[in-house]
Amino acid sequence: MEDDDVAVQDPYAPDNPGGNPEPALFMQCLLGCLEGEMEALLATDVNVEERGRLVGNRWLTPLAMAAQQGRVHMVQRLLELEIPANVHAHQGLILHRVVRVGAGDRPAVVKLLVDHGADVHARDQAGFTPLHEAADQGDAALARMLIHYGGNIMARTNVGETVADVATIRDVGLGTHDAVLEVIQTETLRLARKVAFAMGLHERLGEASIVNTLDKELLRMVLEDNNVID
């Protein structure tokens, strides 16, 4: 598909198709710069949402580029501006991009994005949440973090795959996703016990209980309640 024919729903379509494809702030977030250089540029009232497209021919905001590159101090600075960079740009898929193809200290970037309002329940065009992306990548640490931020273990993709389904499918022949599956089981049981105790149903959960022996209705309520988080 040619750039001029990008569909309106494309989260990486340009806001300014006639603009400069290499804005200065975008380039700094792509290549990195000294902190003073970024401050000097921000002092010129630069447009912090102006997109560039030197990566994969996709138009990315400076925040999305800095987040993808793992430039933690840049992400933090952009999010703490008087008028912060839009954490919901790209149809709320910046978090997905960090989990899928991010570099550097991804947990620190994910924390910054979520602490500033990124939606852990956002879905891409395939119905993937950021937690599905972590399962797809076999990243147990990010999966645990996203679950603790309220990521729904039982959310389903457009073809009905849960997070565990995605990890299981990707694990075939790879043997690299067992840790994610362990996190999912551990966190599911933790949430189930927490809610069961709050509901006075903890007697149903003995010390030796495992997820698949729990009362089905209780488990359904636990897993579908996005408010049950630490």
SS3 per residue for 43-78:
CCCCCCCCCEEEECCEEECHHHHHHHHCCHHHHHHH
User: Are residues 92 and 140 both part of a single domain?
Assistant: no
CA torsion through residues 132, 135, 136, 137, sign: positive
Phi then psi for 52, rounded to 5 degrees?
A: -120, 170
**What confidence score (pLDDT) does residue 205 get?**
52
One domain, residues 105 and 14: yes
8 A C-beta contact, residue 133 and residue 102: no
The Cα 212–Cα 31 span in angstroms is 48
Query: What is the structure's pLDDT at 16?
Result: 73
**Do residue 200 and residue 230 come from a single domain?**
yes
The average pLDDT across 70-89 equals: 96
104-128 mean pLDDT: 96
Whether the pLDDT of residue 5 is over 50: the answer is: no
Q: Is the dihedral of CA 75, 127, 131, 137 positive or negative?
A: negative
Q: Higher pLDDT residue, 213 or 183?
A: 183
Q: How does strand 52-55 pair with strand 58-60?
A: antiparallel
Greater confidence, 230 or 215?
215
- Same-domain check for residues 85 and 178: no
Residue written as tokens 């927490």? 194
Question: pLDDT digit string (tens) for 99-114?
Answer: 999 999 999 999 999 9
- Which tens digits make up the pLDDT trace of 135-182? 998 899 999 999 989 998 888 999 999 888 888 876 555 555 788 888
89 and 176 co-located in one domain: no
Tell me the pLDDT tens digit for each residue of 19-37.
667 899 999 999 998 778 9
DSSP state of 228: -
pLDDT of residue 48: 95
* pLDDT at residue 208 is higher than 70: no
pLDDT of residue 212: 42
Structural domain that includes position 174: 135-230
Average pLDDT, the chain: 81
Say if CB 106 and CB 70 are below 8 A apart.
yes
Whether 146 and 107 map to the same domain: the answer is no
> How many distinct structural domains can be found in the chain?
2
Tell which residue, 218, 224, 225, 220, has the closest CA to residue 200. 218
User: Is-above-0.85 flag for pTM?
Assistant: no
Q: How far apart are CA 200 and CA 93, in angstroms?
A: 39
